Chains A and B, each alone.
Chain A
Amino acid sequence: MTQTSSDRQPSRLLRLVRQAVLGLLSLAITILGLLLVTFIIGRVVPFDPVLSIVGERATEAQMQAVRDQLGLDLPMWQQFWIYVRDAVQGDLGTSIRTSMPVAEDIARAFPATLELATLGTLFGTLVGVPAGVLAATRPGSIADQIVRIVGLMGYSMPVFWLGLIGLLVFYGQLDWVAGPGRLDPTYDMMMEFTLTSYTGMILIDSALNGAWDVFGNAISHIILPAGLLGYVSMAYISRMTRSFMMNELGQEYITTARVKGMPEWRVIWVHAMKNVMVPLITVIALSYAYLLEGSVLTETIFAWPGLGSYITDALFAADMPAVLGGTVVVGVAFVTLNMASDILYRLVDPRART
């Protein structure tokens, strides 16, 4: 395509818009597919949803009424259409266990998971990036070996077992941190009744309320599970940082910078880091998404009232609407994070813009 300088700007804007539209379209199709999968899973469940609502001794008329209400007599495609329409409007059905709308339950549980996963990713990034850089600048050294082995251990550790060991050592033996739960019961009451809730994330809410004793207690509760999740994401981030940095340090512009006499820290942290940042964003977003998932097992260990606990509790109560609703929410969060990292990638890397 030939371009004059005058129409260059609009065409680039157009391209960005086109990319955004295409991206959103593919996001929509993926989410539709996600809903189709959960819909199918929900329809092949061996227990009858009608029976679980009306009970064993209902009359045929009562059962028919519920069946009509749930639309179970409609053709499959129509049922799917209703399912999608409801989901888009934020209606994920009613939980059998709590008799509450699943979406409301999840909205209450999600901030706890978000708080945990965010802090975990923060730890993982703050430790993982420097560790990866250290390993990349001294390949083959003792430091490199240690980073590699510590990373591989993080890959191989069952996260629920790590949580139990953490509790055993840091809570049971050393008593450095608080035990399971988000707060001690007394602070929990305070949080519930005297403080204003803004976000549902205790660290933010208590700070906004100026309740620093609650904040301190919350820190003491979250530090262990977030630290352990952070270790898992650190393993991934440090490994990827190392490989990106190694790749970058072999480039000619690095040699040029060194020959110019630039201090080594500047070569690494300013020049090389600028280019490492680009793929690293995707890696960090991915590890964030994995922590949302990894929190399922961690939350059951730490009695953390988040999405993971919600899904597993629902699982044992055979509460399929809640299980599938939770699955959809985590799936959508997953897809959206991927998408966001993709867009960020395009914004940061000029090569990806064309």
Chain B
Amino acid sequence: MTTLRAWLQDPSPTSRRQARLGQMWLAWLRIRRNRLAMAGLVIVGLLLAVAALAPLIAPHDPLVQDLGRRLLPPGTPGNILGTDDFGRDILSRILYGARITLYIVALVAVTAPVLGLLIGTVAGYFGGWVDAVLMRVTDIFLAFPRLILALALVAVLGPGIENAVLAIALTAWPPYARVARAETLTVRSSDYIAAVRLQGAGPARIIAGHVVPMCLPSVIIRVTLDMAGVILIAAGLGFLGLGVQPPTPEWGLMISSGRKFLFEQWWVATMPGLAIFTVSLGFNLLGDGLRDVLDPRSAPK
């Protein structure tokens, strides 16, 4: 352990990998000092754990109905958070719901940045009218209010989890394109790109092999920062009945089903909202901390 730490903290690294890992180690030390970011990391870790272990830790099957035990208040033995209008255990449904949320977040996180990277790097690399056209398209998509565009898209595609993901991804890519373009502009005219070009590499090869990797770090930070927003939009679509369909335990959908008896059985709508709030707060705290650590302008004083 001490030797590993010494290797990481070596002031004169012998390889590029050692230097990079050393930098990451320093960043990690800085994140660890930031209590709020650590709280965020714990929440996100918890989400991952709950999603993975849902069948093991959930006390009940999230789909099994028991009409004799419907609308029981929180604190009932066997149903700590109470039951919903079909007698399903709310805690179990929330635990399983973590899987749906994680599924949506993960799908958006792998699709939207890819689209953004493609458009941003191509625009930045070629410049000229290609750049002008692509950036104009990006601006147009940025001009659309995200939730409304997602609504219109789902209205056309039809409700469902894949379509909700598609709609969110189609509204989420423009910021990534901007970031990727900015990074591309800084590396485009560098010597190593010129060297690769002189060796005969075509634009596709240069962009995929030599430009995209340079854009990845800033895009990844941006993705972490955006995840809370994605969770909220997905929950909003679910709440409107345009995302996941019943009886799947999705948090937004659970809130909307509890809305009918909000004043009498408040817990049905309240509990899943707490879950959404906690997870999205976790991503916000983590993203905030990451930005503080990785953004050179807010270096430690």
**Interfacial residues, chain A to chain B (CB-CB below 8 A):** 29-30, 33-34, 37-38, 41, 44-46, 149, 152-153, 155-161, 164-165, 167-168, 172, 289-290, 292-294, 296-297, 300, 311-312, 315-316, 318, 320, 323-324, 326-327, 330-331, 334-335, 338
Contacts and interface: CB of A to CB of B under 8 A. Distances in A.
Contacts of A160: 235-236, 239, 252, 255
Interface stretch (B3-11, B71-79, B147-155): B147-155
Contacts of A156: 228, 232, 277, 280-281, 283-284
A168 B261 CA distance: 10
Which residue, of B152, B273, B281, has the highest number of chain A Cβ atoms within 10 A? B152
B155 A320 contact: yes
Given A158-B252, A164-B255, A327 B143 contact: no
Contact of A296 (B144, B148, B255): B148
A297 B262 contact: no
Contacts of B266: 168, 172
Interface of B: 36, 136-137, 139-141, 143-149, 151-153, 155-156, 158, 228, 232, 235-236, 239-242, 252, 255, 259, 262-263, 266, 269-270, 273, 276-277, 280-281, 283-285, 288
Contacts of A158: 232, 235-236, 239, 252, 255, 273, 276-277, 280
Contacts of B139: 30, 33
A152 B263 contact: no
B148 A330 contact: yes
Nearest to A290: B145
A186 to B, nearest CB: 22
Given A158-B239, A296-B147, 8 more contacts: A41-B152, A149-B36, A156-B283, A158-B280, A293-B148, A300-B240, A330-B148, A334-B143
Contacts of A37: 140-141, 144, 149
B220 to A, nearest CB: 20
28 contacts: A30-B139, A33-B140, A33-B143, A41-B152, A44-B156, A45-B156, A46-B158, A149-B36, A152-B285, A156-B228, A156-B280, A158-B232, A161-B270, A164-B269, A167-B262, A168-B266, A293-B146, A296-B151, A297-B147, A297-B239, A311-B148, A312-B240, A315-B155, A316-B241, A323-B155, A327-B151, A331-B144, A331-B149
Contact of B273 (A161, A297, A315): A161
Contacts of A297: 147, 236, 239-240
Contacts of A316: 241
Contacts of A293: 145-148
A78 B9 CA distance: 66
Contact of B148 (A29, A168, A327): A327
Name the residue in B136, B140, B270 with the highest tally of chain A Cβ atoms < 10 Å from its Cβ: B140
Contacts of A44: 156
Q: Which of A158, A294, A300, A312 has the most CB of B within 10 A?
A: A158
Nearest to B143: A335
A34 B149 CA distance: 10
